[in-house]
């Protein structure tokens, strides 16, 4: 359904971007922010799903700064490689520059929402707080959000967490709620990565409910 093209950040760096377009005129743009596994088949599927819902969906290859065209699976060695890239080789300032470029590019289609998963969930929170031109943000199981609560979101934001998530304890979710009562927080009886049908932790019921809430939220704030 989609295609890959190049986009350039403000510092001149060119990175890859997966883009999926709806059948008719876009209701707006959605920037899909990858997990630590790169813009892989799952993230492309997410983009295709948002395109089917009427949005122009783009997923920037934010690992391109460290290594181009990274596509990982969900085995233990993939997890280690993804963590190495995300924590060891990326500079957050540059990552946010790339996301800003993607947001600005998506404005060709109208208002812009962002949605991120895992590492991308953290980036969705940082983007909502630090970047410009975002009309709504959705963060799925954003690891590290509880350590970044001194920021203030510039747009409405929804967060999805799993009650069985060993990476993000419910005590961290409570910290988010207490620090930011304006943020809508949903908790599901599911594990980390419950939205990804390529993972053992996939939970179809939680994924369906979270997506319906996300689409309703974007329909209200993006188009």
Instruction: List residues with catalytic annotation.
Output: 118, 165, 192
Sheet holding 29-33, edge to edge: 3-8, 14-20, 56-60, 29-33, 112-117, 136-140, 157-162, 184-188
């Amino acid at each position: 359904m989609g295609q890959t093209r190049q986009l350039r950040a403000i510092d001149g760096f060119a990175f890859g971007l997966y883009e999926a377009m709806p059948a008719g005129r876009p209701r707006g743009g959605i920037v899909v922010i990858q997990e630590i596994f790169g813009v892989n088949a799952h993230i492309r599927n997410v983009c295709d799903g948002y395109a089917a819902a009427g949005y122009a969906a783009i997923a920037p290859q934010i690992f391109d700064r460290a290594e181009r065209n990274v596509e990982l699976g969900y085995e233990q060695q993939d997890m280690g490689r993804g963590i190495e890239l995300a924590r060891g080789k990326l500079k957050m300032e540059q990552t946010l520059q790339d996301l800003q470029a993607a947001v600005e590019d998506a404005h060709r289609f109208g208002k812009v929402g962002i949605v991120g998963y895992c590492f991308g969930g953290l980036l969705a929170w940082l983007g909502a707080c630090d970047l410009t031109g975002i009309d709504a943000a959705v963060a799925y199981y954003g690891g590290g959000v509880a350590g970044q609560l001194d920021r203030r979101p510039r747009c409405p934001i929804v967060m999805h967490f799993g009650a069985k998530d060993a990476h993000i304890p419910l005590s961290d979710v409570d910290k988010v709620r207490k620090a930011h009562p304006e943020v809508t927080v949903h908790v599901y009886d599911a594990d980390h990565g419950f939205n990804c049908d390529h993972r053992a932790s996939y939970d179809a019921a939680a994924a369906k409910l979270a997506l319906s809430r996300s689409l309703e939220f974007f329909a209200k704030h993006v188009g």
